[in-house]
Every structure is written in C-alpha cells, then in structure tokens.
A = this chain, B = another copy of it.
Amino acid sequence: MRATLDGDVVRAAGDARQRFHDARGYGRASGPDVTLARVEAAHLLYRGDLDAVSGMDFRSFFCDSVASEAGFAARFLVYADLRERGFYLAPAREGWPGSDERGARADGADEGNGSRDAGVDADILVFERGEKPGGPVAHRVRVVGEREELATGDLADCTLAVVDEESEVSYFACAAGGGFDGRTEYDLPDGLDADLLDDRVVCWSPPPALYERAFYGQPVSGRDDADVDALQLSLVEAADLAARGAVDLDADAVVERGRTVEGERFDRRLSVYRELRDRGVVPKTGYKFGADFRTYDAVESVAELPHSERLVRVVEPDHRFHPRELALDVRLAGGVRKRMVFALAGDDTNDYLTVERLTP
C-alpha cells in the first residue's frame, strides 16, 4: 500500500479505504482512496499498519510532523491513548467525521498546519462508545501540554486532555456553571452589637440562630471553657451581614478593612459570597482545602450539618489557569468528595466553571 504526504495530509490508495477508513474509522474517504490527518497516519505507522509514508518510517514521520505542526507530539499521545481505550475518534477538522456541525468554522478557515482550526473548540472528537465516526460525540477533547496556560474560554464545556512532561495524559471534564442548588432558609436579626477587630469581627451576645441555622461565624462560646457569649465573623461574613443590616457596623468600613488586608481580591470574594448567600447556598471558609470557600446547598442546622458539596476558588475573569494548579485543585476536591468550582468574579456578574477528573 502506498501512502504519500501531500501538504498537511497523507493520501493512501489501494485497499486503504477499506482497511483503515471503513473497518477502523481512520481518515475521510476520497472516492476509492482515503485521506489521513498526520496524527492518523502516525498512529497507523506506530501500530505497524503502515510501513512508510513517502518513504518515512514512524520515527522520521513523527519527527517531521513535530517540526510541521505545533503541539503534534501531545496530540499524538492523546490520540493514541484514546484509541487504546477503544474509542473511534477523529481530528476536529473540516471535512473529517463529526466536524461539519460544530468542529470547524462555517467558512472553513484553517491555519494550514493541521493544528486546531481558528474558531474550533476542540482538537479531537471522541465518539460515544460503540459509535462509528460521525455518530454522537462523547467528548470534544482539547489537548494541552502541562506547561500551557489556559484562558477561561479554553475550558468551557470541553474535555481537557493534559499531557504531562512524562507523556502521561490526564483528562478533565469542564462544564459551565457551578451546579449549586441552594435550599438554605433563615431569617436574620437586626443591628447586632459587633466590633471590627483587626482582620475579623466579633459579634456580642448574638441570637443562637445566626450560627445554628444561618451558619454565620464561629462561636467563641462554643468552646468548652468559655464564659463569653460571642460569635467571631470573618470579614466577608461581616461585610455581608452589615450590608443586610444584621450587624451594627458600617458595611463600607468592613469592606475597606477587607481591602486593606487582602487587596481587591476581597471584593471578588465578597461578590461571590453574597451571590451564593442570595441563592440559598452557605459558603464557609475553604482554607483547610486551600480554597476560598466550601459550600453547603442546604443547611437545616449546624447540629446536623451535611457534607459540604463544593470547593470554590475565586479568580479574575481573565485568569490564566495553569494545568498544574488545575490538577492540584481538582485532585484535592476529588479526594474529599467535593466538586471543584472556579468562580470567575467579574465587575457585574460572576460566572462559574466546574472541573472534574474524568476517565474516558
């Protein structure tokens, strides 16, 4: 069988169409022949199904492809890994199976190097298990190296395949939204006596329900040996309660203190905190998990506190995600049976992004 490199594709004739395309879902049919993307041809060489492409063996063709297509090595590793997992797949590329609907831009613009098309949001389409190329898509896979920083937009509704420096692949499912289902209800008191002390607030003789039902603060009086009835509040809790009139503190003064100790990050965190409270979700500190908040959808009482469902990290809307930080956050959340949610706190609205580990 003859396979020839032609620009950024490989054309194979003879029984290639039947053997590679029809039987095993490689490439696109071109009349009696088959057209293969470089990654597909490399995989056929790697498996020994092709002996050479334009005289190049696997090593030569692989080196040539790395030199020709940005990110080829990582894309090849993910392609091979997914094939090995028993899926049919196709490069997300105009004319290849599955790409007509969404995989490529309508105008078909192409960078010409076979890497991700401009406007295309994936590198590889993985079809549902048992489905042939062109069938329902299970994963729209975006391939990145562990050193590539990712913009928020890169993470919306895709499966991220991160190739680490030792060529192992980790998969993450990224979905817009936080999945919150807030069902916590409570009434707040009015104008409680409180002191702004350094980087926290102490509220004196609060009604027990403020802690026990609404789950604000941490009681000083909860300690065994205390003779004092007081509730310690974090600055975000206090700023929220002050704005709602529940504690007798100037909300602006609390926010100002927050900015002093934390910078503008405080405003972002407060914005997310308030929105979650408005939605019936209870955010508490996520410090022990290295996050901004852990959250509870439904608190009936602190005495019967459920497991917190999510960890929330607050970032700027134009935050660049580093795959290593992503691995750390998502792994930790998974280890404590919580979902990892990134809150992209903007000036007017907050967006949420849920990221989970995935085994395709």
Chain A interface residues (CB < 8 Å from chain B): 46-48, 58-59, 62-63, 66, 71-74, 80, 83-84, 145-147, 162, 164-168, 170, 195, 197-200, 202, 204, 217-218, 220, 223-228, 230, 232, 234-237, 261-262, 284-285, 287-291, 323-325, 327-329, 331-332, 335-336
Contact = CB atoms under 8 A, between A and B. Distances in A.
Contact of A165 (B147, B200, B290, B328): B200
A168 B288 contact: yes
A12 B104 CA distance: 80
B285 A80 contact: no
Contact of A58 (B162, B228, B324): B228
A140 to B, nearest CB: 23
Given A80-B223, A285-B164, A59 B331 contact: no
A209 B204 CA distance: 69
15 contacts: A47-B227, A58-B227, A59-B202, A59-B228, A66-B198, A72-B198, A84-B223, A84-B225, A147-B261, A165-B235, A166-B234, A167-B232, A288-B327, A289-B331, A290-B325
Contacts of A291: 328
Nearest 6 Cβ contacts at the A-B interface: A290-B328, A48-B227, A164-B287, A165-B234, A335-B335, A166-B285
B58 A165 contact: no
Nearest to A69: B198
B166 A59 contact: no
Contacts of A226: 46-47, 80
Given A197-B73, A261-B147, A331-B332, A288 B47 contact: no
Contacts of A74: 198
Nearest to A285: B166
A169 to B, nearest CB: 10
A13 to B, nearest CB: 22
Contacts of A62: 197, 202
A241 B261 CA distance: 47
A57 to B, nearest CB: 9
A284 B200 contact: no
